Structure 1
Amino acid sequence: MRVTRRDVTLGLAGGLLPVFPAHAARYYDVRDHGARGDGIAIDSGAINAAIAAASAAGGGTVVLPRGRYLCFSIRLRSRVTLLLGEGAVIEAADPARHGGRYDLPEAGIDQLYQDFGHSHWRNSLIWGEDVEQVSITGPGLIHGLGLTRDGPGARWKKQAGERPLSMQGMTDAQIAELEPDAAAMQGLGNKAIALKNGRDIRLSGFTILKGGHFAILATGTGELRIDGLTIDTDRDGIDLDCVRDVLVERCRVNAPNDDAIVVKSSFALGRAITSENILIRDCDVSGYDMGSLVDGTKRTTQEIAPDRDRVTGRIKLGTESNGGYRNVRIEDCRFTRCRGLALETVDGGVMEHIVASRLTMQDVTTAPLFLRLGDRRRGPEGTGVGAIRDVVISEVDARGIDHRFPAALAGLPGHPIADVTLRDVHLLYRGGGAAADAARVPAESPDAYPEPSMFGVLPSWALWSRHVERLTIDGLRAQTMTPDQRRPFLFDDVRHLSVRNTPLWR
């Protein structure tokens, strides 16, 4: 029996209708185009044929009923919904085992100022370029078994700032294992879903397990909504690069080895583009062992990420920041066993009009809040320093924080972070800092890769601020679980400071 519109409505394909009503006019069952769904045959050709048929008819819904569909690259087209039914699994094929290859990465990419993964889209399990009114929806699973998480780094010649300082002790062989040569990537897939440009796109309801370098990479994309996804992956979860008008809500993203939800503004499209008008709300991010969010065990055996720092899994703006960020809201989100909120611009972009509110954090592996204006300048000649201004962070409750990493605001001499408000913030640290650490004067490290650990153990345990202008603190409560020998606050080159309703303030 083949899927009809009535079958979809009644639940054969998951009980979901397309989010674009016009797509409900025509349904295309991938089995009618030769898909087997047996986990043995390669079904990407059949799925692509169904997508092409729907597109040629002016749009429609391509349905994957229950089954395991072994695939290489699936190519999205405009005005097509891909509906993953209950029990439907798209499995990423492995070129080493399955006698095929992914679409080749685009040729002629400069790739000076961002790594291979950010610079290519077609070498993915599912990809779309310049598509409009596209949806992937349904309760099914995308399982990236045959994807790789690795890829070459940027070809930028200035090596300072290219990698976190925590990786300094790694050998060339260890770096090469994480960053193979570009020639080794031919035929491999390193992203579950990649979108380049395009507009009016919806991703909802499904699960991604082991998504490669990026579970989702959206570059230059507008009017994007990501809703109700579960992502449990081996590197980045959701990467939003040079995007505009984006909503991410009700997603669960587990990413112990890299960032869970991250906004970037790289040079991947050949020019500096601001990421703007973005709302991230009601999401859970975490750093459990990979795979243990999906299976429900939420294991915690992994302690160290590939950058030799503690597990990641956070929400971040940065590190790629050529175009900057404007009008970003992060609200009602929960962080568990991961790094805290990071707001970073180091490649010349301006970060402004940022609001983060109603955040809860448990078992914070580095700083709960980290604002960094740096001077890496990974960009073309003439790239400047950038700026951070107009940031409001409120109603934050963070507990179980590593004592080495207070909340930190770090600008540069002559380039202060400006107009920051911290309101109703509660921080509970593990404690244990030594008196000797109170005398430390961290290096400026202007061109270093931005991470809370870049400064080492800091000389205060609750809040450390340097090179900040117009800082307002209203209702910051900080505690330690065990005694800490450092002062709670340290302000260095902070002008126009206002502190209210803060018990530890002297």
Structure 2
Amino acid sequence: MDRRGLVLGGLVGVGAMASDHPARAAGKAGPAVGAPPRGVNVRDFGARADGATIDSPAINKAIDHAAALGGGTVYFPAGTYACYTIRLKSKVTLHLDQGAVILAAEPTGVAPNGYDDPGPGAGNAYQDYGHSHWANSLIFGEGLNDIAITGPGLIWGRGLTRGHRFADDPPDVSGPGVGDKAIALKNCRNVLLRDFKILRGGWFALLATGVDNMTIDNLIVDTNRDGLDIDCCRNVRVTNCTINSPWDDGICPKSSFALGYARPTENLTISDCYLTGNYEMGSVVDGSWKTMPASFHGYGRIKLGTESNGGFKNVTITNCVFDHCYGIALETMDGALTEDIAISNITMRGLGFPPLFLRLGSRMRGPAGVPVGKLRRITIQNIVSYGATPQPSIIAGVAGHPVEDVKISDVYFHQLGGGSSELAKRNPPEADKAYPDPDMFGDLPATGFFIRHARNIEMSNVEIVTETADARPAFWLNDVVEADFFRLRLPKGPSFHLDQVSAFRSFGSRWIEDRRFDETVSQTF
């Protein structure tokens, strides 16, 4: 088991204790939203809402009835609806009223007492099982248009698995009747997800693949693995969400090969969201906000990748808060083009990884013959990070394939520091094909930024502060062409280590002599 699996396995019980109380999880959801909408009431089709009777057959009848009428709203009054797979239909909204809980029932392993068959997976060779199947979910839709799920009720994935690598889950996640996602959508358009909560979402609280024109607004996701996975999607807005995902990523755009072809995720906006991995699962939904042990470093971040066959284009991330989780990661590993990314107005506290991780790699998990991808045209501004790991932020390509056109301005990074002079001498491995995470290179010889295989890097109004003295240079550059640094405030000690760097400028910085090198240089100052 890998390091992450060991941590996850050891803390499963903590989250489970907080999640096994549906009344508590749903009862503090906030004020009622007014009179129920007109439409189809699931109780009229035989749903018992007693938490024991399997209500999904009745619910699916209600959905079919609404669809046959040309669309409408399927209404869930207060109560706990134990379910296997609920199958969405075009032009149908599910509305969960205050106190309504859709509960993922435990599968029995005997048909029909379980979730739908996962079906074939076109891209199984290029991404893991969870990305490649959709039907084996609590709520599922494929090839639909004009669908919605609205709140303020709760979707509780108590009976879902989160994957084979975790000790508390079945050894065969593809077994009969096993479900692994709270909501899965494939090849849909015009989707609205608003005002509800997801507790214990399984492998993914939401997996949306090939979905166009989707709005995700005002969700609370309190889960045991990934929060919102947006894969091969276009024209997506994620706003006003609270996501607690201690054991995996919070918002995770991807561009996998799960559709059987490469499709980018593009025209994506993420704004006004709160990301954390610092709270026991269930305690965010119920309002108790119980923190994890101080030694635990939760995930909870925003990460583009690692699945990246189709790439990412036209993405904005703004006005978000990161609280005791990991930072922002932009990763293209499988031959795709990732470009035109704007990140702004972010605050971060207590990060277990550095604030920024930009990685162009050559894992190439996809069809043969695809060249190494590109990571370019990235702007990052107005970022405050306090109390982050001693690891520096990372901008790293591979030899012959630089990360290009990165502009970083108006940032304040407070690091724990403490790096030694011996560590400052280290030349980390390339690790071109390794799984991309900030610890992939081991401990690094810089305090603020580690930059390797890059072109056209500009930083201005950047301040690096360390909690304890650090002997490493603030910036470590290797194989970099065109690097401009303006108005820096850095810790005492070496400011730059340059190795095979050309077209370099640094000026206007306090306590640092202005310097310019047009030729290739290797020096420390």
User: The TM-score by the shorter chain falls in which range?
Assistant: 0.7 to 0.9
CA contact (8 A) 1:13 1:64 kept: no
Aligned to 2:85: 73
Question: What SS class does the counterpart of residue 111 from structure 1 fall into?
Answer: coil
Which one-letter code corresponds to 2:388 in the other structure? I
Q: 1:15 aligns with which of 16, 34, 40?
A: 34
Aligned to 1:486: 472
**Over residues 357-416 of structure 1, what are the superposed CA-to-partner deviations in whole Å (9 max), with x where a residue is unaligned?**
00100101111100000000000111221000000000000011011x111101111100
Which one-letter code corresponds to 1:229 in the other structure? L
Which runs of no fewer than 5 residues in structure 2 stay unpaired?
A: 1-29, 496-511, 513-525
CA contact (8 A) 1:198 1:221 kept: yes
CA contact (8 A) 1:282 1:331 kept: yes
Question: What SS class does the counterpart of residue 57 from structure 2 fall into?
Answer: helix
C-alpha distance in 2 between matches for 1:487 and 1:397 = 21
Aligned to 1:283: 273
Matched, 1:461 2:447: yes
Aligned to 2:413: 427
Matched, 1:439 2:425: yes
Aligned to 1:250: 240
CA contact (8 A) 1:303 1:311 kept: no
Aligned to 2:204: 214
Matched, 1:115 2:113: no
Deviation of 1:311 (Å): 2.2
Aligned to 2:142: 129
Matched, 1:104 2:117: yes
C-alpha distance in 2 between matches for 1:238 and 1:134 = 17
Which one-letter code corresponds to 1:276 in the other structure? E
CA contact (8 A) 1:133 1:201 kept: yes
Deviation of 1:180 (Å): 3.9
**Over residues 18-50 of structure 1, what are the superposed CA-to-partner deviations in whole Å (9 max), with x where a residue is unaligned?**
xxxxxx6x5000000000111111111111111
C-alpha distance in 2 between matches for 1:199 and 1:407 = 37
CA contact (8 A) 1:12 1:65 kept: no
Which one-letter code corresponds to 2:33 in the other structure? G
Aligned to 1:262: 252
Write the mapping of 1:306-455 to structure 2, written as runs, cut at 5 A. Answer: 310-403=297-390, 405-455=391-441
Write the mapping of 1:144-163 to structure 2, written as runs, cut at 5 A. Answer: 144-151=157-164
Q: 1:293 aligns with which of 284, 297, 306?
A: 284
Write the mapping of 1:164-183 to structure 2, written as runs, cut at 5 A. Answer: 180-181=171-172
C-alpha distance in 2 between matches for 1:58 and 1:353 = 40
CA contact (8 A) 1:425 1:475 kept: yes
Which one-letter code corresponds to 2:59 in the other structure? I
Distance 1:178 1:29, change over 3 A: closer
Matched, 1:470 2:461: no
CA contact (8 A) 1:12 1:85 kept: no
Q: Share of identical aligned residues, percent?
A: 49
Deviation of 1:181 (Å): 4.2
Deviation of 1:484 (Å): 1.4
C-alpha distance in 2 between matches for 1:440 and 1:485 = 12
Matched, 1:140 2:176: no
Distance 1:45 1:14, change over 3 A: farther
C-alpha distance in 2 between matches for 1:16 and 1:356 = 40
CA contact (8 A) 2:121 2:133 kept: no
CA contact (8 A) 2:123 2:257 kept: no
C-alpha distance in 1 between matches for 2:401 and 2:128 = 27
Question: What SS class does the counterpart of residue 320 from structure 1 fall into?
Answer: coil
**Over residues 309-357 of structure 1, what are the superposed CA-to-partner deviations in whole Å (9 max), with x where a residue is unaligned?**
x421100100000000000000000101111000000000110000000
Which one-letter code corresponds to 2:479 in the other structure? D
Deviation larger for 105-114 or 259-268: 105-114
**Over residues 433-491 of structure 1, what are the superposed CA-to-partner deviations in whole Å (9 max), with x where a residue is unaligned?**
12211111110000000000001111011111111100000111010111112111111
Question: What SS class does the counterpart of residue 419 from structure 2 fall into?
Answer: coil
Write the mapping of 1:77-88 to structure 2, written as runs, cut at 5 A. Answer: 77-88=89-100
Which one-letter code corresponds to 1:359 in the other structure? I
Deviation larger for 90-99 or 59-68: 90-99
CA contact (8 A) 2:114 2:177 kept: yes
Matched, 1:51 2:63: yes
Aligned to 2:16: none
CA contact (8 A) 1:274 1:325 kept: yes
Aligned to 1:199: 189
Deviation of 1:109 (Å): 3.8
Question: What SS class does the counterpart of residue 226 from structure 1 fall into?
Answer: strand
C-alpha distance in 1 between matches for 2:282 and 2:430 = 38
Question: What SS class does the counterpart of residue 338 from structure 1 fall into?
Answer: coil
**Over residues 280-309 of structure 1, what are the superposed CA-to-partner deviations in whole Å (9 max), with x where a residue is unaligned?**
00001100232222233433335788xxxx
Question: What SS class does the counterpart of residue 364 from structure 1 fall into?
Answer: coil
Deviation larger for 409-418 or 95-104: 95-104
**Over residues 93-150 of structure 1, what are the superposed CA-to-partner deviations in whole Å (9 max), with x where a residue is unaligned?**
0014998100010136451101111000000000000111100001000011000001
Question: What SS class does the counterpart of residue 230 from structure 2 fall into?
Answer: strand
Question: Alpha carbon RMSD of aligned pairs, Å?
Answer: 2.0
Aligned to 1:168: none
Question: What SS class does the counterpart of residue 306 from structure 2 fall into?
Answer: strand
C-alpha distance in 2 between matches for 1:41 and 1:178 = 24
Distance 1:111 1:319, change over 3 A: same
CA contact (8 A) 2:333 2:362 kept: yes
Deviation of 1:227 (Å): 0.2
